[in-house]
Amino acid sequence: MSSTSGWILDAHLCSAQLEMLVWIVTEQGSVVSFREPWHPTLHVAGSSSDLEHLVEWLSQPELWIRYGLQRYAFERKRPELGSFDTERMLALTLESCATLRALAEHIDARGDHVRYNLYSVDVRAEQQYLTSKRLTIGSPVSLENNHLSLLERDVQRRDWRCCRLEVVLEEVGQGETLCRQPTRVLVTPCDTSGTVTGPQAAFFLQQSSSLQQLEQWFRKYDPDLVLSLRGNTEGFPHLLRYVEAKHTAICLGRNQTPLRQIGQTRILSSYGQVLRSDPQFPLEGRIHIDLSSSFMFREGGLDGLYELARVSATRISDASRKSPGSVISAIQYRVAMEDGVLVPWKKTRPEDTKSAWDLLQSDRGGLYLDSRPGVYANVIELDFASLFPSIIATRNISPETLNCSCCQPAKNTTPLPLHPDEAKKRFQLQQQQWKSASLA
């Protein structure tokens, strides 16, 4: 009976999306993997008659097989955070996550987009798996008899092994045939901040054995973290096309899965900016961070990313691609699931109705003016990326400190004046009172 203890480095679905693959750094320093079958569950709420009709419709063999349904059951679940009331729902268990969204869209259309409320659709499978086991990234775990469980003690942790990776591109051809092709791959040992700590290795792709030598370098150095510059944007897409053109494959992960692309490039608009979301190129068993597209890594480094992944139960590589708002949403998902509350899909519940006076007293959000499309000169952008952390650090104001149960409510609850000059006078008066009290 063998037992292994360590901490969770990463967790993700296998390429067939039938199993969850958990990577564990043992106390001895090696990295081992643990596989466990994972079957997602989709919850559907609606009237009893609508749910019964839905079961009859899904029981048709062609639908049952198309969506990989395994079983169904009626359960009572909490649909909202603010209430402890439960609701009778239909729970559909699928064989694979690959058909989850397609099934959800068909059920939604079957109910004319109004009769059914769907839950547990767009929550990441890794987050659902880790939360269901009360685990997260970095959790100390024990692996015994093919069973993964949380350890009640901390484990010994070795230092991270990191490297920088760069795919060098050069222009080839002329005129209409001009294109960029990868010519060599550079890998360099570094620390968690990207500072070089060892000699650089160069692999020239025109040499027939270059891909095998690159794979050997990864197996020998065995990095936990791979930092790239424009890796998801340029490096890996060009390298993958080069490899496919040669009718071969390259394996840079720990389980020797060939390099592949997940998702497609998407163009989206957010707060007046046109943004590009690039596909992912997972290195299974290793964490890949594209420095050019990771706001979180630039602001908080690996320690900050690790903490965000830990509190949200998401992968470090996923946390590196998220915005602050998306990370907060992931934390809310985790808290809801731990409390037994389902996460809604396409949430349609409007904000609670407030009177005009309530809005004046509580809703003091900012006003965003969307600029007109055009070409402008002398444009100034104000970056408030660190505004909220600064408020938390200097004013001790955060979701954890507001209305907390450990402090007595203030006696002076007079609302702050809405006029800026009046509010400034109030602050000055309170500051004078605090100084007088401290001198006394």
Residue 409: pLDDT over 80: no
- Distance of alpha carbon 274 from alpha carbon 266, whole angstroms: 11
Instruction: Identify the pLDDT of residue 1.
Output: 46
Residue 271: pLDDT over 80: no
Average pLDDT over residues 98-118: 93
Q: Quick one: fold of 41-119?
A: Alpha-Beta Plaits (3.30.70)
Residue 381: pLDDT over 80: no
- Distance of alpha carbon 141 from alpha carbon 155, whole angstroms: 8
Q: What is the mean pLDDT of the chain?
A: 87
Q: Give pLDDT tens digits for 58-86.
A: 999 999 999 999 999 999 999 987 778 99
- Distance of alpha carbon 5 from alpha carbon 82, whole angstroms: 38
- Distance of alpha carbon 54 from alpha carbon 37, whole angstroms: 27
Average pLDDT over residues 265-294: 84
Residue 369: pLDDT over 90: no
- Could you tell me whether strands 162-172 and 225-228 are parallel, antiparallel, or unpaired per DSSP bridges? parallel
Residue 147: pLDDT over 70: yes
Average pLDDT over residues 220-229: 95
Q: Could you list the beta-strand ranges (E) of 271-379.
A: 273-277, 287-290
Domain boundaries, the chain: 41-119, 162-293
- Distance of alpha carbon 37 from alpha carbon 20, whole angstroms: 6
Residue position matching structure tokens 């407030």: 354
pLDDT above 70 covers a percentage of the chain that reads 90
Instruction: Tell me which of 152-156, 233-237, 370-374 is least confident.
Output: 370-374
HSE on the CB side for 126, CA within 13 Å?
23
Q: Which two tokens stand for residue 366?
A: 């900012």
For residues 370 and 169, the model is more confident at: 169
- Distance of alpha carbon 217 from alpha carbon 171, whole angstroms: 27
Same topology, domains 41-119 and 162-293? Answer is no
Q: How far is CA 23 from the centre of its chain?
A: 17
Strand partners, 262: 280
Instruction: Identify the pLDDT of residue 361.
Output: 61
| Integer angstrom CA distances of residue 360 from 94, 211, 271, 369, 426 | 48, 64, 24, 20, 18
CB 278 within 8 A of CB 262: no
Instruction: Identify the pLDDT of residue 131.
Output: 94
CB 149 within 8 A of CB 3: no
For residues 184 and 405, the model is more confident at: 184
Q: Quick one: fold of 162-293?
A: Nucleotidyltransferase; domain 5 (3.30.420)
Q: pLDDT class for 15, splitting at 50, 70, 90?
A: confident
Instruction: Tell me which of 237-251, 345-359, 404-418 is least confident.
Output: 345-359
Residue 351: pLDDT over 60: no
Specify which of 322-336, 371-385, 401-415 reaches the highest per-range mean pLDDT.
322-336
